[in-house]
Structure 1
């Protein structure tokens, strides 16, 4: 996040709230003429990865709901929000992937690998 955005956000918008990860959410004071609605944005606590925005705040950012949803109403079956793990050591890798050992399950025997010149 740029220093200028952090500096001007409290001046050009009002702070709506903060999520459990420390991300602060703002809404512009005036409506945009072209969309006839306010602009909404977030200042992330760590880095600039937008996948850390929880679903409750994502709905508010994209104007799906008019007010932010409650983060405290949680059901026992709900898991904590996780950011996108692609490219990290915790990314999903199916059986047969090179990082998991590289051995895939045996096929029906009808597969022949292509070799150049044959």
Structure 2
């Protein structure tokens, strides 16, 4: 079952096709984050990067492919905000950076504010500043 998973499930780690593309294109391993995600780049070769206009960078997720699982330092590198990869500069998270929390949208633990039809909390009272529209008005 593992070979079939490697071939067909792009959302759960890298597929065989991704691994072949990385080795064939000359993808250079840059580093790994605390979640086990591995980061690669295609060195600045004008011929290989012509379609992108800049150095191509990508991530191979350790598990389920969720873009919000990329830590802040690596996010900056992936989006060309900074040139040095966190692995190369002994990056330390700042005090205001929060640790990653899994996206809970679509689950029972999803955020449902007061007033949401799916919330179990009481709906806030109407303030009286709303006038209902009717077709005859």
The answer as to 2:56 corresponding to 1:43 is no
Structure 1 window deviating more from structure 2 (70-79 vs 53-62): it is: 70-79
1:79 to 82, 90, 98: 98
Partners of 1:13 and 1:27 within 8 A in 2: yes
> RMSD value over aligned CA atoms?
3.0
SS in 2 for 1:20: coil
Q: Is the 8 A contact 1:6 1:43 kept in 2?
A: no
Secondary structure, in 3 states, of the residue corresponding to 2:40? strand
- Give the gaps of 5 or more residues in structure 1: none
Q: Does 1:3 align with 2:34?
A: no
Change (3 A) 1:110 1:78: closer
Indicate which of 10, 14, 21 corresponds to 2:35: 21
- Alignment gaps of 5+ in structure 2: 1-9
Distance in 2 separating the partners of 1:110 and 1:55: 42
Displacement of 1:100 after TM fit? Answer: 2.2
Report how many residues are paired: 118
Cα shift readout 1:84-110 (whole Å, capped 9, x = no counterpart): 332223321101223322641111357
Shift of 1:29: 3.4
Q: Name 1:95's counterpart in structure 2.
A: 114
Conserved? CA contact 2:36–2:62, under 8 Å? yes
Q: Secondary structure at the match of 1:67?
A: coil
TM-score using structure 2 length: 0.66
Determine if contact 1:97/1:103 at 8 Å carries over to the other structure. no
